[in-house]
Structure 1
Amino acid sequence: MADVEGFNPFSVAGCRAVIVGGTAGIGLAVANHMVAAGASIVVTGRRGGEPLATPTGMSSVAMDVADGESVKSGFAAIDEIIDGIDCLILNAGIDAETGLIDDDHDLAAFERVIDINTTGLARAMHHGIQRVPDGGSVIVTSSPAGSIAAPGMAAYSASKAALDMLVKSWAVDLGPRQIRVNAVLPGIVDSEMDSESAPDTELIRRMTVNGAHRRAEEMGPVFQFLASRASVTLTGSLVGAHDGISVGYSQAVMGYLAADLDD
């Protein structure tokens, strides 16, 4: 798109976007934000067949990324709603305490996390990218857990670390087509996934450098930036939207450790 007077590089007006895993949490918050900004949105999810309180400009399709046939039929259904995908957002994922080092953690649970968070998004990418024109954008929701280990989180961290490398590899493979592939790494946000691990919320909040605890809606502008032409120079990037969790020890954590040593 040429630079002309009045052109807003952050605009997503008219953008055709699909959010895989967009019926709840961060995905739905991003969908609502993008629709308000003028985009046409299709959200998918295992609950996609249920009626959603969606605004004009948003549709939903049932899709289970753990099921290859469901992904294939889901994108076929999307073809009936929109003609092409300018921005493909891969957001589906689950969390589970699965470390595999004791009898309480079984292999099936470990495999399910990997199958949804990594392989499942690769399935969605395989079908979705065929519908993205040259110059489009792919955005993947990853996590700082991909580079920070925590007790009992081996499966989740491994799934996100693998996803981060897929983002970089896809960026290389799709570079000749001018398709940008980037990841957003949210920190602790109010979402259904995080509510399942509520006891950890205060600890994670202390890990941020500014003590922040974000709402899912605050992720919307980050995704809009990566969907827009304003991010034309970014590809293969892991965008940390986590208030500095991965940059070092926060003052709150250092204070907690110092107090513990004093005891």
Structure 2
Amino acid sequence: MTMGRLSEKTVLVTGGSRGIGKSISLRLAREGALVAVHYGHDPVAAKETVAEIEAAGGQAFAFRAELGVPGDAAALWAAFDTALAARGAGPGLDILVNNAGITLPKMISDVTEEDYDRVFAVNVKAPFFVIQQGLERLRDGGRIINISSGVTRIAFPHIAAYAMTKGALDTLTLTLAHQLGPRGITVNAVAPGIVETEINPTLQDPQTRTRLAALSAFNRIGQPADIADIVAFVASDDARWVTGQHLDATGGSFLGV
């Protein structure tokens, strides 16, 4: 059963088959949206996500496009258009969630030029051109939601290059919010902190888990659903007067010394 706030809406979630992206896909489908689950390299996870949505009474389809390579945005939109038409749905999009990204756990002294180019290609260049080439598809009154990170507020030297990519995404968010306001399109960034996904294998160590949980005001590790619920709010009409914002979703991490 769906809640209905996003009924008749079409949503695209990049990297929507695993981790935070999967939780976002499931959550927006519960709101009644038709969810396009983008994936880059794991068709099994994408198929499972779509099956889970459909089993709960929602609507979804998966499509593949590799990000971080030349022509990635054009390939993504071509695949999206084809998959959408195959479902018999009308063209266009209401909500774009730029979630796909990669991390780079290296100190600045260890980052190579290849490392740097790769993380910026996936985390910055790809969403930039996905948005650029998607604006003609995005309906007036739509939503762009960029998944940023708490590392733009909190210093983590061991992921410096990654943090830079999320800072760039925050700046893009602010700029686009100003540009797209006349069309009624809101643009916001949601910034998770430490979240329990496969990207954080260190959470399997009990001591590390306890130490990282203590960084939050709630003394626990974030869950993908914590982030998805915030995205659902920003995607809805309830957030129509919120744009150009960086929504801190770190569970109050590092609020005090």
User: Could you state the TM-score of these two structures normalised by the residue count of structure 2?
Assistant: 0.86
Q: Give the corresponding residue for 2:78.
A: 76
Aligned counterpart for 2:137 among listed residues 102, 126, 131: 131
Asked if the contact 1:31–1:41 (Cα under 8 Å) also holds between the matched residues in 2, the reply is yes
Q: Give the corresponding residue for 2:116.
A: 110
1:204 positional shift: 3.0
- Paired AA for residue 29 in structure 1: S
Percent identity of equivalent pairs: 26
- Paired AA for residue 22 in structure 2: L
Q: Give the corresponding residue for 1:31.
A: 25
Q: Give the corresponding residue for 2:6.
A: 12
Aligned counterpart for 2:248 among listed residues 240, 252, 258: 240
2:6 and 2:24 mapped to 1: Cα distance?
A: 12
Per-residue CA shift, 1:58-85, capped at 9, x if unaligned?
1111112212423212211212314211
Instruction: Give the SS at the match of 1:214.
Output: coil
Do the aligned partners of residues 201 and 130 (structure 1) sit closer, same or farther apart at CA in structure 2, a change above 3 Å counting?
farther
2:43 and 2:137 mapped to 1: Cα distance?
A: 22
Q: Does 1:140 align with 2:146?
A: yes
1:71 and 1:37 mapped to 2: Cα distance?
A: 27
- Paired AA for residue 44 in structure 1: H
Q: Give the corresponding residue for 2:36.
A: 42
Asked if the contact 1:46–1:62 (Cα under 8 Å) also holds between the matched residues in 2, the reply is yes
2:173 and 2:13 mapped to 1: Cα distance?
A: 16
Report the RMSD for the aligned CA atoms in angstroms. 2.0
1:121 positional shift: 1.4
Aligned counterpart for 1:184 among listed residues 177, 182, 190: 190
1:186 and 1:206 mapped to 2: Cα distance?
A: 16
1:196 positional shift: 6.0
Q: Give the corresponding residue for 2:201.
A: 195
Task: Give 1 or 2 for the bigger CA radius of gyration.
Answer: 1
1:119 positional shift: 1.4
Q: Give the corresponding residue for 1:66.
A: 68
Per-residue CA shift, 1:7-30, capped at 9, x if unaligned?
x9x811222100011121111111
Asked if the contact 2:69–2:121 (Cα under 8 Å) also holds between the matched residues in 1, the reply is no
Q: Does 1:168 align with 2:178?
A: no
Per-residue CA shift, 1:186-209, capped at 9, x if unaligned?
121111222367665443322111
Asked if the contact 2:216–2:251 (Cα under 8 Å) also holds between the matched residues in 1, the reply is yes
1:226 and 1:29 mapped to 2: Cα distance?
A: 15
Per-residue CA shift, 1:189-241, capped at 9, x if unaligned?
11122236766544332211121212212322211111110000000011111
Per-residue CA shift, 1:130-169, capped at 9, x if unaligned?
2101110100100010122212211011111111111001
Q: Give the corresponding residue for 2:105.
A: 97
- Paired AA for residue 131 in structure 1: R
2:21 and 2:65 mapped to 1: Cα distance?
A: 14
User: Could you state the TM-score of these two structures normalised by the residue count of structure 1?
Assistant: 0.84
2:94 and 2:9 mapped to 1: Cα distance?
A: 6
Which of structure 1's runs of 4+ aligned residues deviate more than 6 A? none
- Paired AA for residue 37 in structure 2: V
Do the aligned partners of residues 237 and 198 (structure 1) sit closer, same or farther apart at CA in structure 2, a change above 3 Å counting?
farther
Instruction: Give the SS at the match of 1:239.
Output: strand
2:169 and 2:182 mapped to 1: Cα distance?
A: 21
- Structure 2 unmatched ranges of 5 or more: none
Q: Give the corresponding residue for 1:119.
A: 125
- Structure 1 unmatched ranges of 5 or more: 1-7, 255-263
- Paired AA for residue 188 in structure 1: I
Asked if the contact 1:100–1:110 (Cα under 8 Å) also holds between the matched residues in 2, the reply is no
Instruction: Give the SS at the match of 2:200.
Output: helix
- Paired AA for residue 219 in structure 2: G
